[in-house]
């Protein structure tokens, strides 16, 4: 009887060991799934961080670009896979925003995903042509209020983007009525801004930096929680009168599918936080206009909740929808 029990326990232990080994799969690369095409800012961040992440996990990390549906095809790929940690989703603002503006997207980040940690934020700027007669956002708002100039417009990469949210936020808090000009993507916006085909634009800092350095455009405000080192004299949006300290940063983070073993998530969290503190990683990201802003999984969850409330308010007040 005792021998049978020992044999049974031994068999169970062997099965558990095999299961753990299958989940870890040390010889199999980890896929870091990114919802945007190669060559963009999200892809760049993923490749810089992913290389260091792999070193610390002892496994190769490959970047898998799954573009489409505002990043939602990528998250669905991860959610359709086993919860074993072999697929990591690089999410961010769109993970929370897109389900709010598109009722067809059935994603609840709090239930479907486990936050691993935040890596970075990408500041957005509100920019005007270099020759525009405004030095600050306050100057522009004051002019618009006095003139009642409702034809003043701002360009963004499209409806429901965070750039659109930023313009809507300014309209709401400043009580002005700038017209939204949605483009299909952001490639042409800066050129049109330089050429004064549009009055203003909301741009990510990484895209705007070359034009700012050349003096072809100027920034009136920054969306982040703090002033950015690349533009120390440009006020963040929360410093403006009537904005009450509000901030609207674009952010990038890693998630795993709900149900992934806690030890697997914890190992990835530790590796991520170590990776983004490496001097060479920080230097590459900062040079590209990205802010290194690490958070552990719990702090990331805490950070997202009030941001999500702000997004929802912008969506409802601005009546923003997309499909």
Domains of the chain, earliest start first: 2-120+251-318 (3.40.190.150), 124-239 (3.40.190.10)
Mean pLDDT of 172-186: 91
Mean pLDDT of 34-57: 93
Average pLDDT over all residues of the chain:
89
pLDDT tens, 7-43? 443 444 333 333 343 344 567 899 999 998 888 889 9
Judged against a pLDDT cut of 50, whether residue 219 lies above it is answered with yes
Mean pLDDT of 173-188: 89
Is residue 200 within 8 Å of residue 127, measured between CB atoms? yes
DSSP class per residue in 201-237: EEEEHHHHHHHHHTTSEEEEEE-SSS--TTSTTSPBG
The rounded Cα 313 to chain-centroid distance in angstroms is 19
In the chain, the percentage of residues whose pLDDT exceeds 70 is 91
Please report the pLDDT score of residue 149 as a whole number.
61
Please report the pLDDT score of residue 25 as a whole number.
58
The 10 Å Cβ neighbour count of residue 148 is 9
Please report the pLDDT score of residue 2 as a whole number.
43
Model confidence at 179, in pLDDT bands (50, 70, 90)?
very high
Model confidence at 52, in pLDDT bands (50, 70, 90)?
very high
Please tell me whether residue 89 adopts helix, strand or coil conformation: strand
Judged against a pLDDT cut of 70, whether residue 140 lies above it is answered with yes
pLDDT tens, 100-135? 999 899 999 999 999 999 999 989 999 999 999 999
In the chain, the percentage of residues whose pLDDT exceeds 90 is 76
**Alpha helices per DSSP H over the chain:** 2-24, 41-57, 72-79, 93-101, 109-112, 137-147, 162-174, 189-194, 205-213, 262-276, 279-287, 297-318
Judged against a pLDDT cut of 90, whether residue 187 lies above it is answered with no
Please tell me whether residue 142 adopts helix, strand or coil conformation: helix
Judged against a pLDDT cut of 70, whether residue 188 lies above it is answered with yes
CA dist 168 and 9 (Å) reads 63
What's this model's pTM, rounded to 2 decimal places? 0.84
Judged against a pLDDT cut of 90, whether residue 171 lies above it is answered with yes
CA dist 292 and 285 (Å) reads 7
Mean pLDDT of 263-269: 97
Model confidence at 185, in pLDDT bands (50, 70, 90)?
confident
Mean pLDDT of 260-274: 97
- Min mean pLDDT across 11-15, 91-95, 127-131, 319-323 is at 11-15
Model confidence at 148, in pLDDT bands (50, 70, 90)?
low
Mean pLDDT of 54-82: 94
């Amino acid at each position: 009887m005792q021998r049978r029990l020992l044999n049974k326990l031994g068999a169970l232990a062997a099965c558990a060991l095999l299961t753990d080994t299958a989940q870890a799969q040390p010889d199999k690369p980890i896929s870091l799934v990114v919802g945007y095409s190669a060559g963009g800012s999200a892809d760049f961040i993923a490749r810089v961080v992913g290389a260091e992440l792999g070193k610390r996990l002892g496994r190769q990390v490959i970047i898998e670009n799954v573009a489409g549906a505002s990043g939602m095809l990528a998250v669905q790929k991860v959610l359709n896979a086993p919860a074993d940690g072999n697929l990591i989703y690089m999410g961010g603002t769109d993970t929370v925003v897109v389900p709010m503006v598109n009722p067809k997207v059935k994603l609840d980040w709090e239930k479907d995903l486990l936050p691993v940690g935040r890596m970075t934020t990408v500041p957005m700027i509100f920019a005007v042509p270099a020759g525009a007669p405004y030095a600050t956002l306050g100057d522009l708002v004051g002019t618009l209020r006095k003139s009642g100039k409702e034809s003043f417009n701002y360009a963004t990469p499209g409806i429901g983007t965070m750039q659109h949210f930023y313009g809507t936020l300014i309209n709401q808090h400043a009580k002005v009525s700038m017209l939204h000009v949605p483009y299909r993507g952001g490639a042409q916006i800066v050129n049109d801004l330089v050429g004064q085909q549009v009055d203003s634009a909301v741009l990510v800092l990484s895209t705007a930096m070359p034009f700012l350095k050349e003096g072809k455009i100027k920034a009136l405000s920054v969306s982040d929680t703090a002033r950015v080192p690349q533009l120390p004299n440009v006020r963040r949006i929360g410093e403006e009168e009537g904005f009450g300290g509000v901030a609207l940063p674009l952010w990038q983070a890693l998630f795993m599918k709900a149900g992934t073993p806690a030890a697997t998530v914890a190992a990835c969290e530790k590796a991520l936080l170590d990776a983004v503190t490496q001097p060479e990683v920080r230097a590459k990201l900062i040079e590209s206009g990205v802010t290194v802003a690490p958070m552990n999984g719990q702090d990331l969850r805490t950070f997202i909740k009030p941001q999500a409330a702000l997004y929802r308010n912008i969506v409802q007040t601005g009546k923003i929808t997309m499909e």
